[in-house]
Structure 1
């Protein structure tokens, strides 16, 4: 935390809020993970509890119906389990090790929440993903379900890119890393389920507007860069991993860690300024209010959650 404070990272100028049912949903989501055998007792269970998925979801989605907050929390819980399996349990050490799991999960996404008698058996990660897709399908918003499935496909394929980098001990170029980080962070599917939770309906024409797409990119960037800045100290204590903006800047620009941390913070601060300008332009349309509120909440929630996250201690 001292390193982050010294880097000059700017606090997002949005109100911090928290859903009143956060603690209740935390227990329910952990019970869901245990019932599906997503984690076992021991280090993996302790890591998942320490991640506090509900705390992040409750701050990102402070006013939603409880069942929709729970759906978002379960997605974040599932993403944390996948992330830890890749980073901490060596599933993502090389593409050949990860590929069978990715193939199974892509098969789940192809079924879009349906399960016929011919559907192949899946492991705990597949069962968890199928349950999330089934519950999204029940809300009868097919365009949103298709968007979620596409974003999760991008996430899974980006994990293979990470695994290839680890196998070859390759540090990506900065521009490449920034592009791929939008997918490896799982932010886009999380935003989609927050849109569902908050009844955001910008419409297909608005959804593909260049300014809206750019704001979504900035939102994903800010969430992921904030995550990188807060998690860097923990990551450098373990096995070397090239997938952090501070590590990439240090390696590709020949900077020491403190200088790279300051450069990463400046990247975040500049992105936040661009976000505020882009948001102000979109805010002129009253129909965009709910959409903008979701993005603003995610940026603030990530900052507040990261400050207290045991996951990054």
Structure 2
């Protein structure tokens, strides 16, 4: 199936770049995961190490400071741990079981990284790690980005309950519903925001609210998620098609077989990539420093996801 993705998906027409500190940050982030007790079993540790979060972060954020790269890598590792707990360890199959975990993490987000109150959520490793991420984002003294990050992480956690309800009922959502919710369940938007946090402040909230940028941001999010879906489909389907994958939702809504649904998903990705490149080029004309930085981060993420997915052991 990886061969299908490699042959069917168009390569993003943006330069491939990589941060020089990937290896060092990978070791530091692995220590962070270990020290906080995020993964306590050998199989889980091997699974997380094989995900190579620092490689993805280093390609998505090639010009960040080492501290910025480390924050993004830690966030990606945290998202992978939550994803594995839901998808592979059974936490995400029952919304009643998942709800207390989500509630504890929402409580952490309500603190906005404030370091003064007592420890979050009774020492739950996921909660302690999330608070540490928010605290470090807060230290950047970019309140608008901190609020955006917390809001996006809240949307991510609540969307996990949607996934759990679908799994409990063996429900495959329709394509439009899936595309909308996938923008939240993928953890892409908070990753974009942390990437923005690593760049100097250049554009204000009014610039960021431009509808044209919102459309481009949504397209970038879709491309990252759909690329992930196509590369991970073989691993996710197992003996039963995965509930939450673009291929499965297309098959369920249209009645197409697997081969046709794969082709349709790839065609959707390629069409979105062409639309993205066209919009990106139009916005780049006469762009100021803030807009150029925004466009660069999204281009890097789209290309990084494709390059990282080609070799990611996570999807084998």
Whether contact under 8 Å (2:167, 2:243) holds in the other structure is yes
How far residue 63 of structure 1 moved from its aligned partner, in angstroms, is 1.2
Q: Distance in 1 between matches of 2:139 and 2:242?
A: 39
**Once the 2 structures are TM-superposed, how far is the Cα of residue 3 of structure 1 from its aligned partner?**
2.0
Question: Hey, what's the Cα distance between the residues in 2 that align with 1:238 and 1:307?
Answer: 23
Q: How far did residue 5 of structure 1 move?
A: 3.4
Q: 2:298 maps to what in 1?
A: 295
Distance 2:235 2:92 in 1: 18
Q: Give, in angstroms, the shift of residue 122 of structure 1.
A: 3.5
- Whether the 8 Å contact between 1:36 and 1:127 is mirrored in structure 2 is yes
Name 2:13's counterpart in structure 1. Answer: 13
Does the aligned pair in 2 maintain the 1:12–1:272 contact within 8 Å? yes
Within 5 Å, which residues of 2 pair with 1:234-249? Answer: 234-237=235-238, 240-249=241-250
Q: Deviations over 1:67-104 (max 9, x none)?
A: 11000000000000000000000000011010000000
How does 1:150-161 map onto structure 2 within 5 Å? Answer: 150-161=151-162
CA drift of 1:199 comes to 2.4
Task: Map Cα deviations across residues 185-238 of structure 1 (whole Å, 9 max, x no partner).
Answer: 000000000011122532111111100111110010000000000000111126
1:46 lines up with 2:42 in the alignment:
no
Deviations 1:225-263 (A, max 9, x none): 000000001111266431000011111111111111110
Counterpart in 2 of 1:281?
A: 282
CA 1:118–1:304 in 2, change beyond 3 Å: closer, same or farther? Answer: closer
Unpaired runs of 5+ in structure 1?
Answer: none
Once residues 181 and 196 of structure 1 are traced to their aligned partners in structure 2, the CA distance between those partners, rounded to angstroms, is 23
1: CA distance, partners of 2:120 / 2:171: 38
- Corresponding residue SS for 2:91: coil
Three-state SS of the structure 1 residue aligned to 2:122 is coil
Secondary structure of residue in 1 paired with 2:114? coil
| 2:62 equivalent in structure 1 | 62
Secondary structure of the 1:57 match is helix
TM-score, normalised to structure 1's length?
Answer: 0.97
- Asked whether the equivalents of residues 200 and 291 of structure 1 are also in contact (C-alpha less than 8 Å), the reply is no
Using a 3 Å threshold, how does the CA distance of structure 1 residues 290 and 97 change in structure 2: closer, same or farther?
same
Do the aligned partners of residues 200 and 308 (structure 1) sit closer, same or farther apart at CA in structure 2, a change above 3 Å counting?
Answer: farther
Unaligned runs of 5+ residues in structure 2 are none
Q: What is the CA distance between 1:120 and its match in structure 2?
A: 4.4
C-alpha distance in 2 between matches for 1:31 and 1:82: 18
- The aligned counterpart of 2:82 is 82
Q: Does 1:173 align with 2:183?
A: no
Q: Distance in 2 between matches of 1:248 and 1:40?
A: 34
Contact preservation (8 Å) 1:56, 1:301: yes
1: CA distance between counterparts of 2:3 and 2:101? 38
1:184 aligns with 185
Q: Residue in 1 aligned with 2:308? A: 305
Aligned-pair RMSD on alpha carbons? Answer: 1.2
TM-score when normalising by structure 2 = 0.96
CA contact (8 A) 1:166 1:241 kept: no
Q: CA deviation at 1:152?
A: 0.2
Aligned to 1:139: 140
Partner of 2:224: 223
